[in-house]
Amino acid sequence: MTLAVCDPRRALKMPRVYTSFMSAIGADAGMRRFARDILRARPGDRVLDLGCGPGRLCAHLPGAAYTGVDIDEAYLAQARSRYAASGARFEHWDLSGDCPPLRAQTFDL
């Protein structure tokens, strides 16, 4: 077996495994502090989260107009499912090139 086959990081490419792992290591508390102390979003603020993954930041920004962007459709599907009722938007964009959709929108954070 090669190291790549045994690499446990490969499991983190699965959204449910990633989310469970982040919860297990206490990352939710850090995300909550980041949202509260650094972002300080107010209701109505337009927030853009590049590389949003499964959208974990969305839960800590109640009332904000949240847009999450990621390249991984599996992570976006989990985010859409989890936060459908919040009005958050989750979009699939490849940010490695020009990104016209960003130019057409304005964000506060």
Structure tokens at 88: 């958050």
pLDDT for 45: 96
pLDDT for 18: 81
pLDDT band at 7 (very low <50, low <70, confident <90, very high): confident
Backbone angles phi, psi at 89, to 5 degrees: -110, 140
pLDDT band at 4 (very low <50, low <70, confident <90, very high): low
Residues 12-69 pLDDT 10s:
777 888 888 888 888 889 899 999 999 999 999 999 999 999 999 999 998 999 999 9
Asked which of 2-6, 27-31, 52-56, 74-78 is least confident by mean pLDDT, the reply is 2-6
C-alpha 40/C-alpha 34 separation (Å) is 8
